[in-house]
Amino acid sequence: MEHPERSFIMIKPDGVQRQLIGEIISRFERRGYKLVAAKLMTPSVQLAKQHYAEHDGKPFFEPLVKFLTSGPVFAMVWEGKDIVATGRKMIGKTKPLDSEPGTIRGDFGIDVGRNLIHGSDSVDSANREIKLWFHAEDLNSWKPVTQGWIYE
Ligand code: UDP
């Protein structure tokens, strides 16, 4: 009963400032996902640019990097069955008009440039982002006692 899929989930500076760390962790915990790593840190410009490399050159790139490096973010790795796709659903869509109530962005955000949280969009991105933000020894392998009540 191993579910090794992992996702990189990050509460952005607006989520930290708005004191939503607990609320967001709670949603992933209650769903049944397992926290594998977490840290509060202020990213360097280099790290922010590497993280968002696919958007380099777009009009929102520079403001996005400035925003992400403006203060602490809460970087996390979560693990569980289909965590990448489910995590994206829990986070909600990028466009504010499409982010449904019940999702994190849909419940707490209004503007695309202040959308509180990042979640990997594919397993490949997750692997890349986890390597970028964490050292291998920061990732905890552990077995929550609840697993048999979450997975059949
Ligand atoms: N973003 C923005 N303006 C835009 C599009 C994106 O400020 O018009 C920011 C927003 O913070 C978003 C991030 O760039 O979360 C990355 O965009 P992406 O399309 O990868 O969205 P996500 O995967 O975060 O939903």
- What's the rounded mean pLDDT across residues 54-78? 98
Q: Could you tell me which CATH number the domain at 6-141 has?
A: 3.30.70.141
85 CA to centre of ligand 1 in angstroms = 17
Segment 101-113, tens digit of pLDDT:
999 999 999 999 9
Q: If you write DSSP's letter for every residue of 46-62 in order, what string do you get?
A: HHHHHHTGGGTTSTTHH
> Cβ contacts of residue 80 below 8 Å, gap of 6+?
3, 5, 32, 33, 34, 86, 150
pLDDT per position as a tens digit, 74-127: 999 999 999 999 999 999 999 999 999 999 999 999 999 999 999 999 999 999
In a mutational test of the pocket of ligand 1, which residue from 7, 10, 54, 64 has the highest number of ligand atoms less than 8 Å from its CB?
Answer: 64
> Is 105 marked as binding a ligand?
yes
Arithmetic mean of pLDDT, 125-144: 97
* Statement: residue 3 has pLDDT above 90: no
Is 131 annotated to bind a ligand? Reply is: no
Is 118 catalytic? The answer is yes
Identity of residue 20: L
Check the annotation: does 143 bind a ligand.
Answer: no
pTM above 0.90, yes or no: yes
The residue whose CA has the least distance to atom 19 of ligand 1 is 94
What residues contact residue 23 under an 8 Å CB cut-off, 6+ apart? 108
Task: For residue 56, report the distance from its CA to the centre of ligand 1, in Å.
Answer: 12
Query: How many CB atoms neighbour CB 85 within 10 A?
Result: 16
Compute CA distances 102 → 14, 70, 93, 147, whole Å: 19, 28, 12, 25
* Residue 2 confidence class, pLDDT cut points 50, 70, 90: low
CA of 112 to the centre of ligand 1 (A): 7
For atom 17 of ligand 1, the residue with the nearest CA is 94
